[in-house]
Structure 1
Amino acid sequence: MAPKLFLTGATGYIGGEALYFLTQAHPEYEYTLLVRDEERGKLVSRQYPDLRLVYGTLDDDDVIAKEAAAAEVVIHTADSSDNMPSAHAIAKGLSAGHTDAKPGYWIHVCGTGILQWYDQRHQRFGQAPLPEQTYHDIDDIERIVTLPHEANHRDVEEVVLAANEAGGIRTLIVSPPTIYGRGRGPVNQRSAQVPRIAASTLEHNFAPIQAPGLTEWDHVHIHDLGAFFVLATEAALDPARNSDANIFGPRAYFFLASGSHRWSDVARWVAEEAARQGFISAAVTKEVDDPRLGTNSKGIAARARKFLGWEPRGRGLREEIAETVRVEAMRMGRA
């Protein structure tokens, strides 16, 4: 029988790309997609007419638990880093529908915003990362899975990690950093962070920098993130690998990164490109008070390469800036 997958977030940026890659690589899988309502369901069905949809929100405990119980693999991308009810529902369903002898596998999307905690606690906005703020996802795994409860997304991660003790559940947490590039899902194909800078630049005629402009993040192309979901799902369905604690279990925590950037550099690239395309008069940056641009998120993504053979192949962030500016201008009615 075909493996059964339950995916949340098919209309989202990450979930849509995960679904695109999975259906391209494995059309033989049996997919069930959680969709909020019939209007969005129609958009999904245009691209995937043969896939099964179930309707519900992330608060619909019974719907989510039932589908999780029936699935061999759950891929949770819909507000997964912060939505507590859906995490509890997935844990309940997987535990009810699986046993230690035949566990269910949970691929959970978080985000490296969790690594901002130190700067947020100490209000050190705009500063360069300290050496101890870099986390290696193999060597520093104990530090990662015991981050402070106050860290972004940490409360939901605690639910996911604890699910490994419930019986019948093995988890994998993937925490991508800044994601860029155009997705290929049925609805949202737009990322958040870099387009937000582009939109602000077009609106205010300057690109924002949180002074003194030294904060750093890692980044990954959306296509490389999509490819990861194929590798992780294949591992979940491979008896030779799905019991490997490096891939599934309470220490199976994956960062993904193809490079890193300073937000001040991104602002300059956006300003230069917006001026080149004629949307602003000059390539101007200005200092602003925006803590979203002022905290560090630094991880070393070794686990996916070592244990899943993941290698990023997408275009670099700098090369995507021109397209990002153009798309934002179109979205704002400027082009």
Structure 2
Amino acid sequence: MSLESDPDPKPTPTLHCVFLTGVTGFVGGTILSRLLNAHPNVHVKALIRKESVAQELQSVYPNLTPIIGELSSLSLLESTAAEADFVIHAGGDNVSAVCAMIDGLASRTTTGPPMPRLISLTGPRSLIDLTNPITGNLRADSRPWSDITDAHTILNVPEDRIHAGADQAIIAHSTAKGVGTILVSPGQLWGRGKGHLKKESNSAFYYATVKNRGRAFMIGEGTATWSWTSIGDLGDAVVFLMEQALKSGSENHGQIGVNRDGYYFVRTGDLSMIERATAVSDRLGLGNVESVSVDAAREIHPFGPIMWGCGERTRSDKLLELGWRPKETDWKALMEEEGGERA
């Protein structure tokens, strides 16, 4: 079946084999599930470390062929990608691994401009300028980032920022090899994972920490705001982009941007830290939210200041132009989905 948000639902007859990484994780597992829901006959090759896990996933997904190896198995990644119609990488920032898969895709003879062949998951933390102090507050000069009007700026931020160096290296290698790569960048992810294995993200960590402390917390005034989407909508968006990329016919050719024009945000709404903390506090009956210092947040978790004290608002203008729309728009319902304790 095609996604409901596809404005021109068509089968994608060229889609025979998709190679996925990260399928045991929260994001990759959801993408695997959404892909096979949308295309039950597609042959999926999935990179998996352990035979026991591979057997478990095969029992759930009969069309899955495990590729036993790791992201460091570069020759294996290259040869497997060379046999795939499309590659989806959900295994984190790993330039060597993604470049090996690009090399595999490049081994096929192609003519004309680079066709979209690979989606790599990234994130908007590359937009955070850590030369500014972390205050927990929305900066007066803050503005939403558009993946249309700000596309080239996003891929030119200092490479020492989170995700930025990897994003830039992957795009440079794709361009050099003549392979079309799409970077998919969600903000905060809400809801329960749709894959077979990992069901929760780090949003469950904040909830558990609040429960243990007996009080919800934020940094500063808590007005720092992240854009968010549901994990299910992210999975659907990835499949939607792959479908659009593989559509045949000249009327579709060129609509999907790749490489320097291939950065896509996935966004449903915006949510401040004070809203999140208040929702948890209300649910647990804990009273007022506590304001903590950056150092105190770092003591709770080394990455705490960025998770709870920073924020960037994004706009998924490219996906909206293509006709994609999020389906799950109630973040509080996602917070409690299937009895979940997440925020």
TM-score bin, normalised by smaller chain: 0.7 to 0.9
Partner AA of 1:258 in structure 2:
T
Answering whether residue 214 of structure 2 is matched by residue 205 of structure 1, we say yes
Are 1:84 and 2:107 an aligned pair? no
Consecutive unaligned residues in structure 1, runs of 5 or more: 276-281, 330-335
Aligned residues: 316
Alignment of 1:283-322 (within 5 A): 283-288=287-292, 289=294, 290=297, 291-292=305-306, 293-307=308-322, 309-322=323-336
Structure 2: gaps of 5 or more residues = 1-13, 298-304
* From 10, 16, 21, the counterpart of 2:34: 21
Are the equivalent residues in 1 in contact too, given 2:230–2:334 (CA < 8 A)?
Answer: no
Corresponding residue for 2:152? 142
Among candidates 69, 76, 87, match of residue 63 of structure 1: 76
Indicate the larger mover: 237-246 or 199-208.
237-246
Letter in 2 for 1:300: R
Secondary structure at the aligned position of 2:260 is classed as coil
Q: Quick one: distance in 2 between partners of 1:266 and 1:21?
A: 27
Q: How far, CA to CA, are the matches of 2:168 and 2:242 in structure 1?
A: 22
Displacement, 1:328? 4.0
What is the aligned partner in structure 1 of residue 126 from structure 2?
114
After superposition, the C-alpha distances for 1:83-127 in whole angstroms (9 at most, x for unaligned) are 2321222222222245345856011110112222x2x12123312
Secondary structure at the aligned position of 1:261 is classed as strand
Cα deviation code 1:259-278 (max 9, x no counterpart): 10101210110111122xxx
Which AA in structure 2 matches 1:6? F
Counterpart Cα distance in 1 of 2:149 and 2:211: 42
- 8 A contact 2:44–2:63 mirrored in 1: no
> In the aligned structure 2, how far is the partner of 1:285 from the partner of 1:43?
42
Worse-matched range after superposition: 86-95 or 14-23: 86-95
Separation in structure 2 between the aligned mates of residue 98 and residue 181 of structure 1, nearest angstrom: 41
* Contact 2:134 2:310 survives alignment (8 Å): yes
Q: Residue type of the partner of 2:291?
A: E
Amino acid of the structure 1 residue aligned with 2:36: T
Give the match for residue 94 of structure 1.
Answer: 105
State the partner residue of 2:197. 187
- What's the secondary structure of 1:250's corresponding residue? helix
RMSD (Å) for aligned C-alpha atoms: 2.1
**1:176 equivalent in structure 2:** 186
SS of the residue corresponding to residue 138 of structure 1 reads coil
Query: Which residue does the alignment assign to 1:48?
Result: 61
**Aligned counterparts of 2:42 and 2:183: Cα–Cα separation in 1:** 22
Q: CA deviation at 1:31?
A: 1.1
Going from structure 1 to structure 2, the CA distance change for 1:130 and 1:136 (only over 3 Å counts) comes to farther
Q: How far off is 1:152 after superposition?
A: 0.8
Match of 1:278 in 2: none
Deviating more after overlay: 311-320 vs 171-180: 311-320
CA drift of 1:73 comes to: 0.6
Q: 1:47 to 1:266 in 2, by over 3 A?
A: same
Cα deviation code 1:248-304 (max 9, x no counterpart): 3321111111110101210110111122xxxxxx33422223212111211111110
SS at match of 2:336: helix
- The TM-score with structure 1 as length reference comes to 0.88
Partner SS state of residue 107, structure 2: helix
Give me the whole-angstrom Cα distance separating, in 2, the residues matched to 1:98 and 1:210.
53
Conserved? CA contact 1:245–1:251, under 8 Å: no
Note the 1:262-281 alignment, pairs <5 A.
Answer: 262-275=272-285
CA contact (8 A) 2:116 2:256 kept: no
What does residue 238 of structure 2 align with?
A: 229
Q: Deviations along 1:127-169, whole A, 9 cap, x unmatched? A: 2134454211111112112111122101110122113322341
- Secondary structure, in 3 states, of the residue corresponding to 1:6? strand
Letter matched to residue 313 of structure 1: K
Pair 323,143 (structure 1): closer, same or farther in 2 beyond 3 Å: same
Instruction: Check the 8 A contact 2:193/2:200 in 1, yes or no.
Output: yes
SS of 1:201's partner is: helix
Q: Which amino acid aligns with 2:126?
A: I
Cα separation, 2, equivalents of 1:267 and 1:122: 24
